[in-house]
Chain A
Amino acid sequence: GAGVSQSPSNKVTEKGKDVELRCDPISGHTALYWYRQSLGQGLEFLIYFQGNSAPDKSGLPSDRFSAERTGESVSTLTIQRTQQEDSAVYLCASSLARRDTQYFGPGTRLTVL
């Protein structure tokens, strides 16, 4: 079956612009996660959605970052007023339920000039 997909695969933007990153989880997976992978910080958890429960936003680095998910489908991660330190690969993962194996998408490489 289809895996986790993310779009765009690459995004180049200018400092100060807003960007939206999209994640399509595996069909039927109730849990969805966003992680960030950067040279300096490695892989970091950003946010977690589980069904209709309130998301866990504890990993978001600043209030410029936000994410939404409609039901158990697509999620978007929005970064407002991008800064150069936001440059990273943003990875999305989904799992059947909260404690199950997380399956990762290919990531979106964000470059902020």
Chain B
Amino acid sequence: AQSVTQLGSHVSVSEGALVLLRCNYSSSVPPYLFWYVQYPNQGLQLLLKYTSAATLVKGINGFEAEFKKSETSFHLTKPSAHMSDAAEYFCAVTRSGAGSYQLTFGKGTKLSVIP
């Protein structure tokens, strides 16, 4: 079984400040990990994904995440927040082996950017 824990249902940062959204996972097999973003009244958009290649993954809109097996973490960062980053962010996990199709999501973190 897999699970995802996102620490902090709501995070506020000032425009230009570092964004750090935390995600810890639990998986009995090597995982594939994802970050999705959801803007109001829209579907989910993939930001980045980890599939066992490089542990530092770069995504769209200046976001990146680092897979740390020892900490079972996959935290999302961006050096400088922009107003347009205000949205809800979801971390998700799926198995890398057989039956690896369904995504298990965290509860989400709503990011507010203060001008």
| Residues of A in contact with B (beta carbons under 8 Å apart) | 4, 31, 33, 35, 42-45, 48, 50, 56, 59, 91, 93, 95, 98-99, 101-107
Say yes or no: A105 contacts B43, CB within 8 Å. yes
Chain B interface size, as a band, is 20 to 34
Say yes or no: B101 contacts A48, CB within 8 Å. yes
When distances are taken between beta carbons in the complex, the residues of chain A under 8 Å from B104 are 45
Say yes or no: A98 contacts B49, CB within 8 Å. no
Q: Name the residue in A4, A31, A35 with the highest tally of chain B Cβ atoms < 10 Å from its Cβ.
A: A35
Say yes or no: B102 contacts A101, CB within 8 Å. no
Say yes or no: A101 contacts B101, CB within 8 Å. no
What's the least CB distance linking B16 to chain A, in Å? 30
Main secondary structure of the interface of A (DSSP, over half): strand
Say yes or no: A104 contacts B45, CB within 8 Å. yes
What's the least CB distance linking A62 to chain B, in Å? 18
Q: For the complex, give the distance between the alpha carbons of A95 and B102 in Å.
A: 11
**Pairs across A and B, CB under 8 Å, 9 listed:** A4-B43, A42-B107, A43-B92, A93-B44, A99-B101, A101-B46, A102-B103, A104-B36, A107-B42
Say yes or no: A104 contacts B44, CB within 8 Å. yes
What's the least CB distance linking B97 to chain A, in Å? 10
Q: For the complex, give the distance between the alpha carbons of A103 and B102 in Å.
A: 13
